[in-house]
Structure formats: structure tokens, C-alpha cells
């Protein structure tokens, strides 16, 4: 790889090169910090880890706490370690790691959960730092190079880095020389303020409308620190039998939609979340009958490289390359082959409802659970315990041509291999309403909900998606609720409020959602 000086084309910035130790005094308790990164890619590593070492060495736990604003989750060795050292007071808008989740759910860390496209926009509006006039105290940005004008060429993700660079009072650049320069891979647009914003002129996944760098006032850059730690990304789990069955149902559905004339032969741009089910769907597409496909999504995982290699994926737009370590090696070894078919955009653009609706994106995401009327919970287990956050699923599901949610029908508990049903009478927290979703899928089957009233949706979801261990219980509840509510003339969406959460209560007390009866 090239040296640090080779990557800095702006001569006046060469005298701002500093060691990690030299920048630590810039960090003060209570500061609002913006980090680059989206998933464990493109985030600062050297400085956050050194600051954590400093806090631990000098016993400053709880005495140096920061408000942390990042586009999505990043590496757990940074934000989760900060949480373990009581270094995070607030965290927006999405996170990962056991320590940070424990801090949030114990009330020690305040978290604001927000749709990712709206978070980026609201950060630019100054909503999260009103006491500072809408500014961040300090931004830490991982870059792969700096232009002769002092503009920033990002690395393997974009996220909210453009908004941080614009709104931070000061910037520290972590220039990563362990990775190639990503110059040319990004499409950066800085949105205008309302009320006379111009439209984003993207009508094809491959359209580019911005610059390959983030414009930056070089006077903001107070230090440049070299980083030599490559992204480790996210390792992929093996596709299991349940994920494969779900993927098969979705591919069968796509083929039926093409045959019916509701989808073109090459489908429409695909958005896919992360995890085993998403990878299984992509794996089926690699082997399936469709070609000349495109992807408009948040993150690209290793299976997308297989998709490119199959010759069936033409182009992909995302905000992050969330490859595994092996995936990054493969990507770098075939740089020209892959990069001519990929563009990385800011999350405000990658997740923007305007593009999602115009392109006709097919959105596929995994919830915690959904109920028989097609409300879905993506964030709060039991309605109260935060896991990661809503992420970009709402951005896509509320604006997609087809909104698909896929989930196992059941999950195990310590005492019961099918102790949790992911199809319930009513979800205890709603992230995606019945108005957002078109199709629900489990390994049991697929429920196409388009054009159905609530009671018809409920019956189809019970028949197609519920596990056999729970189907009779759900049917009994639905029959009882329908009889009671319809007889009283209040039966558009029947529920028995004194019993609707009995399954969840039984789980809390007995370790299973299999109740004896609804009485």
C-alpha cells in the first residue's frame, strides 16, 4: 500500500499529521462526537481504541462521557468497549454490541432510534445539537485519501460522513493506509435545505449525480492520524434449512409475479437486509432464472460478490461494503472487476424515499416478530428491550414497490425448542404498520396480503406463516376475538384486550409462549 504522504495531495495539510497520542487532549467530557462508518466498515479505529485505553489506564470510567452520533452500528471493539467503560452518554441512531445494549436498557445510555435516512437529514438540520447551534464539537472520519483541495475521499462506507464533515466544528481524519484509495467509488451529494430543494435525478441504479469526494473546508481539519487497521467487516453465517425454505418461497413468489405480468423479467431493484435469510435469498438468485438484475440497498455482503460473479447482477448501489475479512480480500484482488459495477452513496441518498419509490425497489427485511394483522416489531423484544434499532428497514418498507418481511416462524427458548412464536396476536411494539407491508414469509409459507381486509389478512397469516405448534392457538384467539367484536359491531380488526398479550406473559413466567388456553 502507499504511504501516508502519498495519500495526502493537499500540501498545507501535511504539517497536521499527528500521532494518536497527540490528538487525545482534544477530547473533553460531554462533547458531541460524530464518527464515520456504517456497519463494521469505514469507521475510525485507532483513535477510539486509544481513547478507551486512556480512560481505562487512568481510571476515568464515567468521567469522560460523550454523545456519539454515527450513521449506523460500527465495530464492537470501539463503541461496545466504550460502553463497557461508561464512555457513552447518548447514542444515535443504531448500535450493536452486548455492552451498549445493556447500557441502553439499564438507562445508563440514552438512545434515540430513528429511520436512517431521516437521521442523516435531521443531523444536517441541527436537531440533535440545538444547544451548539446545530454543530458537532468534533468529527472523526476514516478516509482513504485527501484531494489537493483538501476534500475527503472516504473508505468502504459513506453513512453520515458528509453531514459530519459539514456540521462539525473540527475534524480529525484517520487516514487508513492498510486499504486502497477508494477514489471514484463514491457518489456524494450534499442536500439543500428546504423549501426549494431540487429533486435527486436518479432514475437508474447506476446513475451518478454527485462528486467522488466529500467537500471539506480544510481549515476544520486539526489533525490527520494514520491508521493501519483494515476493516474486518461482518462474517457470514452458514445458510440454515429455515433460511433456505424462506428464500425458496420468495423466489417462487417472484416467478409467479413475473408470470402474472406484475414484475418485469429482470424483476426490479432489490433491497436486502443483513443476516442468514438475506444471504439465502441472494444465494437463490445466484442459482435462479433471473438475469440483468440490479440492487439498491444499504449494505453489500459477501454473497453479492457471488451474485456479480454469476453474471446475473448488473449493478449495485449501497452506502457500505459490509464484507467479511475474506470478502474484502476477494474484493481488493478483483478491484477493477467489482468497482465498475458498484457505487457508494450517503445514507440520506441510499435510503431516500424519493429514490426507493421512483426505482420501484423490492424491499426484504427481517423483524423480531409480526402479528396476524401484519404489524411488525423490529426493535424491542417484549416491547421494552432494545436490541439494535429500526435501521433502514422503515425507509424501504414504507416506500417500496413490494414490501416483504421474512422471519422464522418460531425461535427457541432455554426450555422449549419452539418456545417463541414469531407470529403473535398483537406485537407489543410496532415499527412497521399494517399499512406498510405487502408480503409476510416464514419457512411455513408466504402470505400475499395485497388487497385484503384485516380479517382476511389474519386468516391468511395464520394459515400460511404460523408454526403448527401455534396455529391452533392463534386460530382459537382469532375466532374468539372475531365472535366477540363482530357481535358488538366493533369488528374491523378484532382483538380481546384482556388476553391479547397472554402468550408474551406466559413466556416471561414459564419460558414458552405455548399457553394452555385463552381463558
| CATH of residue 436 | 3.40.1080.10
Same domain, 173 and 41: yes
**Would you say residue 477 lies in a domain?**
no
**Would you say residue 376 lies in a domain?**
yes
What's the grid cell of residue 101?
A: 445494549
pLDDT in tens, 31-46: 999 999 999 999 999 9
Name residue, grid cell 456497519: 39
Same domain, 270 and 179: no
Interacting residues of 334 by C-beta distance below 8 A, sequence separation 6+: none
Same domain, 218 and 331: no
Kindly report the average pLDDT of the chain as a whole number.
96
pLDDT of residue 227: 97
**Would you say residue 100 lies in a domain?**
yes
Domain boundary among 227, 259, 288: 227
Same domain, 137 and 196: yes
- How far is Cα 393 from Cα 376, in angstroms, rounded to an integer? 11
Please give the C-alpha separations between residue 112 and each of 63, 99, 194, 393, in angstroms, as whole numbers.
Answer: 22, 17, 24, 16
- Report yes or no: 352 and 400 within 8 Å, Cβ to Cβ: no
Tell me which DSSP letter residue 181 carries. Answer: -
Residues with a known catalytic role: 298
Specify the length of the chain in residues.
519
Exposure class string for 265-276: b at 16+ Cβ within 10 A, else e = eebbbbbbbbbb
Q: What percent of the chain has pLDDT over 90?
A: 93
Same domain, 68 and 127: yes
Work out how many domains the chain is built from and give that number. Answer: 2
| pLDDT of residue 184 exceeding 90 | yes
- How far is Cα 197 from Cα 232, in angstroms, rounded to an integer? 38
Going by C-alpha positions, the residue among 277, 337, 268 that lies closest to residue 308 is 337
Same domain, 299 and 193: no
Same domain, 264 and 221: no
Same domain, 271 and 178: no
Same domain, 206 and 315: no
Same domain, 16 and 153: yes
**Would you say residue 499 lies in a domain?**
no
**Would you say residue 128 lies in a domain?**
yes
| pLDDT of residue 277 exceeding 90 | no
**Would you say residue 473 lies in a domain?**
no
Domain boundary among 203, 227, 251: 227
pLDDT of residue 19: 98
DSSP states of 301-361: -HHHHHHHHTT-EEEEEESEE--BHHHHHHHHHTHHHHHTTEEE-BHHHHT-HHHHHHHT-
pLDDT of residue 166: 96
Strand, helix or coil for residue 227: strand
Q: Residue 1: which pLDDT band, with cuts at 50, 70 and 90?
A: low
Q: Which whole number is the average pLDDT over 81-92?
A: 98
Same domain, 213 and 264: no
**Would you say residue 405 lies in a domain?**
yes
| Mean pLDDT lowest among 97-101, 146-150, 195-199 | 195-199
Going by C-alpha positions, the residue among 218, 220, 81, 233 that lies closest to residue 150 is 218
Same domain, 216 and 347: no
**For helices 241-260 and 276-287, what crossing angle results, to 10°?**
50
Q: Which whole number is the average pLDDT over 391-417?
A: 97
- H helix runs in 63-184, sequence order: 79-84, 98-105, 116-125, 161-167
pLDDT in tens, 190-237: 988 999 999 999 999 999 999 999 999 999 999 999 999 999 877 766
**Would you say residue 488 lies in a domain?**
no
For 131, the domain range is: 4-227
Domain boundary among 444, 468, 492: 468
**CA angle 20–26–32, rounded 5-degree value:** 115
pLDDT in tens, 228-268: 999 987 776 677 899 999 999 999 999 999 999 999 999 99
Amino acid at each position: 500500500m502507499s504511504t501516508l504522504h502519498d495519500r495526502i495531495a493537499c500540501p498545507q495539510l501535511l504539517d497536521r499529521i499527528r500521532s494518536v497520542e497527540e490528538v487525545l487532549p482534544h477530547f473533553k467530557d460531554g462533547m458531541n462526537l460524530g464518527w464515520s462508518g456504517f456497519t463494521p466498515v469505514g469507521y475510525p479505529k485507532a483513535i477510539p481504541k486509544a481513547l478507551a485505553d486512556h480512560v481505562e489506564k487512568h481510571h476515568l470510567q464515567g468521567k469522560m462521557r460523550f454523545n456519539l452520533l454515527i450513521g449506523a452500528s460500527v465495530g464492537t471493539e470501539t463503541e461496545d468497549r466504550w460502553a463497557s467503560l461508561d464512555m457513552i452518554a447518548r447514542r444515535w441512531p443504531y448500535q450493536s454490541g452486548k455492552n451498549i445494549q445493556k447500557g441502553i436498557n439499564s438507562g445508563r445510555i440514552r438512545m434515540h432510534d430513528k429511520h436512517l435516512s431521516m437521521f442523516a437529514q435531521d443531523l444536517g438540520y441541527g436537531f440533535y445539537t440545538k444547544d451548539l447551534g446545530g454543530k458537532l464539537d468534533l468529527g472523526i472520519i476514516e478516509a482513504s485519501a485527501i484531494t489537493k483541495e483538501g476534500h475527503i475521499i472516504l473508505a468502504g462506507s459513506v453513512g453520515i460522513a458528509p453531514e459530519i464533515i459539514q456540521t462539525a466544528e473540527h475534524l480529525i481524519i484517520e487516514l487508513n493506509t492498510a486499504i486502497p484509495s477508494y477514489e471514484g467509488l463514491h457518489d456524494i451529494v450534499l442536500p439543500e435545505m428546504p423549501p426549494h430543494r431540487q429533486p435527486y435525478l436518479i432514475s437508474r441504479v447506476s446513475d451518478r449525480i454527485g462528486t467522488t469526494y466529500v467537500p471539506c473546508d480544510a481549515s476544520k481539519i486539526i489533525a490527520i492520524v494514520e491508521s493501519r487497521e483494515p476493516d474486518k467487516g461482518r462474517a457470514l453465517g452458514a445458510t440454515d434449512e429455515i433460511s433456505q425454505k424462506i428464500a425458496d418461497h420468495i423466489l417462487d413468489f417472484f416467478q409467479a409475479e413475473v408470470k402474472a405480468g406484475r414484475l418485469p423479467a429482470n424483476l426490479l431493484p432489490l433491497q436486502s437486509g443483513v443476516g442468514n435469510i438475506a444471504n439465502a435469498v441472494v444465494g437463490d438468485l445466484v442459482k435462479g432464472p433471473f438475469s440483468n438484475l440490479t440492487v439498491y440497498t444499504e449494505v453489500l455482503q459477501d454473497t453479492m460478490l457471488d451474485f456479480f460473479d454469476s453474471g446475473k447482477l448488473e449493478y449495485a448501489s449501497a452506502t457500505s461494503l459490509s464484507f467479511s475479512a475474506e470478502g474484502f480480500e476477494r474484493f481488493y484482488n478483483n478491484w477493477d472487476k467489482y468497482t465498475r459495477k458498484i457505487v457508494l452513496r450517503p445514507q440520506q441518498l441510499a435510503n431516500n424515499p424519493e429514490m426507493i419509490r421512483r426505482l420501484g425497489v423490492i424491499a426484504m427485511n427481517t423483524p423480531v416478530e409480526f402479528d396476524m394483522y401484519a404489524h411488525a416489531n423490529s426493535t424491542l423484544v417484549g416491547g421494552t428491550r432494545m436490541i439494535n434499532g429500526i435501521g433502514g428497514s422503515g425507509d424501504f418498507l414504507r416506500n417500496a414497490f413490494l414490501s416483504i418481511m421474512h422471519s422464522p416462524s418460531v425461535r427457541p427458548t432455554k426450555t422449549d425448542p419452539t418456545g417463541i412464536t414469531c407470529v403473535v396476536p398483537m406485537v407489543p411494539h410496532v415499527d412497521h404498520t399494517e399499512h406498510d407491508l405487502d408480503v409476510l414469509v416464514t419457512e411455513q409459507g408466504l402470505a400475499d396480503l395485497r388487497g385484503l381486509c384485516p380479517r382476511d389478512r389474519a386468516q391468511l397469516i395464520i394459515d400460511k406463516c404460523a408454526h403448527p405448534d401455534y396455529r391452533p392457538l392463534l386460530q382459537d384467539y382469532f375466532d374468539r376475538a372475531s365472535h366477540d367484536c363482530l357481535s358488538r359491531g366493533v369488528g374491523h380488526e378484532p382483538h380481546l384486550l384482556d388476553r391479547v398479550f397472554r402468550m408474551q406473559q406466559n413466556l416471561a413466567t414459564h419460558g414458552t409462549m405455548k399457553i394452555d388456553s385463552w381463558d
